[in-house]
Amino acid sequence: MPRYVLEVMYDGTCFHGSQVQGLTPTVQLSINTMLSTLLRTPTTTVGASRTDEGVHAMCNYYHYDTDEVPGHDFLYKCNAILPQGVAVKKLFVALKPDFNARFDAADRAYRYRIYAAKNPFLHSRALYYPFPMRRDMLDETAVVIKEYTDFESFAKRNTQSKTFVCKIEESYWKQEGEELQYVVKANRFLRGMVRGLVATQLRMAKGGYELADFRAILEARDCTKAFFNVTGNGLYLEQIQYPEGTMQLLQVH
């Protein structure tokens, strides 16, 4: 049976997270319901990355199996059924039968957006953070993150992860117009990890801390030492990459 892959984008403030949670409105439930309607049979998907409530995605992937060949207007029909907060961008077919949207992903990239001057148009799109910060501290902590591979301190409790090892490929802060943004890319992320990295770096930069304090949190391997108190609406799952030859593009909306 062919395995198809949908590339989707969504506004996280419209859902209670991405992963199915019974009948609670989530991104995955919306996609499952849409596919079940179009294919006229109960259809479930497997997502590439789980995002928490409020977290947005410019790019996430869901695979599903069906013998029904998609028509030329398949993506149009998908978007006609889906709620306003989510859209399907592309349709692929997997080139290997055991393709898995989650486990075959080579890396993922996130961006966290912050603004300091009150702006009603950014209210649900970024974190309002009108506090003085040491920018040099932010830059230094971002570099330090790349030196480590064990991020147990930045995994929320009750995580199902069997290992806390992640390979960080990119970690840096940048000014983008009126926004200060944190970009991080890795082969995998733990539950709550990006928000933990952002919140802890902001706490270090707000005053009274040294770089050694940040290293101590990383090395403690204890999530009670880190901070997670930043909202989900500032976080964006921006990119997921797969090895070349993993899937073939069929349609673009």
**Among all residues, which ones are annotated catalytic?**
52
235, 165 Cβ separation under 8 angstroms: no
The amino acid sitting at 247 is M
* Nearest residue to 164 via CA among 215, 219, 105, 228: 219
Count of other CB atoms within 10 angstroms of residue 95: 11
Rounded to whole angstroms, what are the CA distances from 224 to 6, 156, 217, 218, 227?
Answer: 37, 9, 9, 11, 8
Query: Which residue is listed with tokens 């909202």?
Result: 231
DSSP strand pairing (179-186 vs 46-47): unpaired
Residue 51 and residue 53: Cα distance in Å, rounded? 7
